Structure 1
Amino acid sequence: MTVAAELIGVSQQFGDFTAVDAIDLDIPEGRFTTLLGPSGCGKTTTLRMIAGYLTPTSGTIRIGGADATRTPPEKRDLGMVFQSYALFPHMTVADNVGYGLKLRRVPSGERRTRVMETLELVGLAHLADTRPKKLSGGQQQRVALARAMAIRPRLMLLDEPLSNLDARLRLQMRAEIRRIQSETGLTVILVTHDQDEALEMSDEMVLMQGGRIMQHGAPQDVFPAPANRFVADFLGYENFLTARDGTTLTVRPEHLGVVAGADGAAPAGILALPGTVTDVAYRGVDMLVTVAAVDPSGATVTLLSDVRAAEAGRVEAGQPVSVTAPESRLVALAD
């Protein structure tokens, strides 16, 4: 695997506050890497250090194999798209996209060719002579992407670029950005707090909390096997219980069944916990059932079961039930 960028023991201090705490991270070339986590976890600070807008308090950043720790942003060969697309309102779409090329003194003929090639890639060639104010939010975002891509950067950095779009358009643009990355082979680093966005778009997913990397890997490896309670909770596992030996276990709501009666009897390989329904929320296709249950350690826990409405029996608040889950769906957590 060729490494496009490498962070070695990188930290960032703001006074007494440690925003990023001695992280090591390799960004593979030609892949889509997502920095994921809640606000304040250090993901945006990490991106800004890679971009050169912040200098690490300690550690080394290498880009393309060369030490770039103190290289200014304009010399790092990067493209960047922010939450605010920052398009020039007085310029046409084509002029916006070609702006970085003009700064790099690319000859006008080559500049026009590269601008139109990039606009074709994002599906906006027919709007080359249009001003940004006449574009929709999704179109403006594509122009911002095209502008960053036109310079053919070594790395493309995306700082929550979908956050200003409505839900339907966000879904469309996820697929569009992933398509562009796949077709061009760009190395992309995306910052997001949206787990669905990260799962859908990433080749590599880096979960951060408290300035540290909690787990790193392909979504298909991370999602079914969260390393600790933070990762499990952030990825929507929601249900936590304690085994007889004190191990913390987690299971997703869609893997919990609810059966009328609370005798606890279950076939081999099935965990069954006695409990009482405390709430039922009908949501059309599915039902979210909240149960106060007794876990294997004897503690009372609140569990959520997300069951298909067509397959669910009639359950009501106050009803005794058994909450069931295949033991294969239980994930043991490190902490």
Structure 2
Amino acid sequence: MTAAAELIGVTQRFGSFTAVDAVDLAVPPGKLTTLLGPSGCGKTTTLRMIAGYSAPTSGTIRIDGIDSTRTPPEKRNLGMVFQSYALFPHMTVADNVGYGLKLRKVPAAERRARVMETLELVGLAHLAGRKPKKLSGGQQQRVALARAIAIRPRLLLLDEPLSNLDARLRVQMRTEIRRIQAETELTVILVTHDQDEALEMSDEMVIMNEGRIVQQGAPQQVFPRPADRFVAEFLGYENFLTAADGTPLTIRPEHLRLAEQAPGLPATVADVAFRGVDLLVSLDVVDPSGATVRLLADVRGGTAPAPGSSVTVVTPDDHLVRLPR
């Protein structure tokens, strides 16, 4: 199966700074792939090179198996949605969505039909005649998405598209984008720094750090088995300790159990925070290597332990992740 997009040894340098460092990546067709990582990791630069807005210093970019390394953006037939949405304020919703079709000289009747078809897909057909300033943030985001989809792109590229929305709308739009992708079977590449967003939306996650890919795979593969401490921390693992043989270990707060008398690690309760449905218990623990570390336990049900009390921390083997030394 030909990759929808493929990067082969792609590097991007700006002076002495290497933003993307010899990246090899194959994006599967008909799937939603996320580029995930902290600010400055190279994910947006990678997306811009796929889009054609920036040429790689070295390496090859193929789209649908065709070398597109030097192909200008307007000839790649890709849809792109930016953080800012970049809607034309003087145009109606319908005219915004049809703008790319007009540039491509699609006949007016077909253009109107495709605009309405796409607005139906994003649930905004009833707002076709409205101006962007009359729309909510979530509605503007859907218009930008519709404009990108209307041209029937080979790839849909999304650069932090939900970052300007409030928390509730972000969650709603994750579901909407996933639905639209599934219905259209579009190949989507989404850039995000939000691990929850990536875990919820991805068919494939590509985690980047300092211009390199550090782990790639389906969320169900990556989340329980982070490749190293950087990935573990970025995915929300907060507890790190060391085995007796020196192997670094990590375990999530919800997988720690507290007991008064059980085989486990001796600990002292440092703090207890009530969070509504659970308790977040901070513990000073002597780990298997003999070092004292601070661990967090997510406790549901039972009596809250008092700060200063002694407890035993149980670390189930099936939830302990062994990291590279």
- TM range, normalised to the smaller chain? over 0.9
Identity percentage over the alignment? Answer: 77
Alignment TM-score, normalising by the size of structure 1: 0.96
Q: Which residue of 1 aligns with 2:49?
A: 49
Over the aligned positions, Cα root-mean-square deviation in angstroms equals 0.9
Of residues 289, 293, 311, the one that matches 2:285 is 293
1:253-282 per-position Cα deviation (integer Å, ceiling 9, x unaligned):
000012236xxx42xxxxx11111111101
* Structure 1 residue 16: Cα displacement: 1.1
Of residues 292, 297, 306, the one that matches 1:305 is 297
Q: State the alpha-carbon separation in 2 of the partners of residues 24 and 2 from structure 1.
A: 15
Unaligned runs of 5+ in 1: 267-271
Quick check: 1:277–1:289 contact (8 Å CA) kept in 2?
yes
Q: Which residue of 1 aligns with 2:321?
A: 331
Q: State the alpha-carbon separation in 2 of the partners of residues 314 and 225 from structure 1.
A: 31
Q: Which residue of 1 aligns with 2:23?
A: 23
1:204-245 per-position Cα deviation (integer Å, ceiling 9, x unaligned):
000001111110000000001111111111111111111111
Moved over 2 A (4+): none
Quick check: 1:41–1:209 contact (8 Å CA) kept in 2?
yes
* Structure 1 residue 324: Cα displacement: 0.9
Q: State the alpha-carbon separation in 2 of the partners of residues 194 and 146 from structure 1.
A: 23
* Structure 1 residue 312: Cα displacement: 3.1
SS in 2 for 1:274: strand
Quick check: 1:260–1:319 contact (8 Å CA) kept in 2?
no
Quick check: 2:2–2:65 contact (8 Å CA) kept in 1?
no
Q: Which residue of 1 aligns with 2:116?
A: 116
Q: Are 2:304 and 1:314 aligned?
A: yes
Q: Which residue of 2 aligns with 1:69?
A: 69
Q: Which residue of 1 aligns with 2:213?
A: 213
Q: Which residue of 1 aligns with 2:152?
A: 152
Matches within 5 A, 1:3-42: 3-42=3-42
Aligned AA (1:304): L
Of residues 270, 278, 286, the one that matches 1:278 is 270
* Structure 1 residue 325: Cα displacement: 1.7
Unaligned runs of 5+ in 2: none
Q: State the alpha-carbon separation in 2 of the partners of residues 190 and 35 from structure 1.
A: 6
1:37-94 per-position Cα deviation (integer Å, ceiling 9, x unaligned):
1111110111011111111111100001111111111111100000001111111100
